[in-house]
Amino acid sequence: MKKLIRSFGYAFKGFGYAAATQLNFRIHVVAMLTACLLGYALHISAGEWMWVMLCVALVISAELINTAIEVLTDLVSPEYNAKAGHVKDAGAAAVLIIAIFALGVGLIIFLPKIIALIHAA
């Protein structure tokens, strides 16, 4: 049990490290919190919440894995190395693809509701 609690602590430490050092991570956390607030305010359905939660988990996990890749790359290759660059670029590309997916889901769920609200006003 103690071990389990300790590993939660490590996970929170990892989250804190990413939040303290990565601007993109902070931007994505704010975007995901905004999506959750919008979901609450616009009374989205259970099915729509599942998509939003999937996007939150994907985006935040991708950012955390990308942070791990960046830190490890800097550790292994502090000097310029083309392969180190490819590793970081591939990590960044993975985050971009997931962010685009999340943006698409957000537009599909929220845009019609926001347009309907504007028309009703």
Ligand X SMILES: Nc1ncnc2c1ncn2[C@@H]1O[C@H](COP(=O)(O)OP(=O)(O)OP(=O)(O)O)[C@@H](O)[C@H]1O
Q: Kindly state whether residue 76 participates in binding ligand X, applying the rule CB under 6 A.
A: no
Residue with tokens 């599942």: 50
**Binding ligand X by CB under 6 A: which of 81, 97, 100, 116?**
81
Q: Is 63 annotated as a binding residue?
A: yes
CB 85 within 8 A of CB 52: no
Applying CB under 6 A, among 28, 62, 64, 70 the residue interacting with ligand X is: 70
Q: In terms of CB distance, is 7 or 81 closer to ligand X?
A: 81
Which of 17, 60, 88, 103 is in the footprint of ligand X by CB under 6 A?
Answer: 88
The alpha carbon of residue 48 and the mean position of all alpha carbons in its chain are separated, in whole angstroms, by: 18
The catalytic position among 25, 28, 58, 63 is 63
Is 3 annotated in a binding site? The answer is no
Kindly tell me the sign of the dihedral angle through the C-alpha atoms of 96, 99, 101, 107.
Answer: negative
CB neighbourhood size of 34 (10 A): 11
Report the residue number, 32 or 52, with the smaller CB distance to ligand X: 32
Cβ at position 95, least distance to ligand X in Å: 9
The binder of ligand X chosen from 38, 42, 92, 94 (CB under 6 A):
92
DSSP 4-28: HHHHHHHHHHHHHHHHHH-HHHHHH
Q: Is 10 annotated as a binding residue?
A: yes
**Nearest of 29, 36, 30 to residue 64 by alpha carbon:** 29
Would you please indicate which residues are annotated as catalytic (active-site) residues?
A: 63
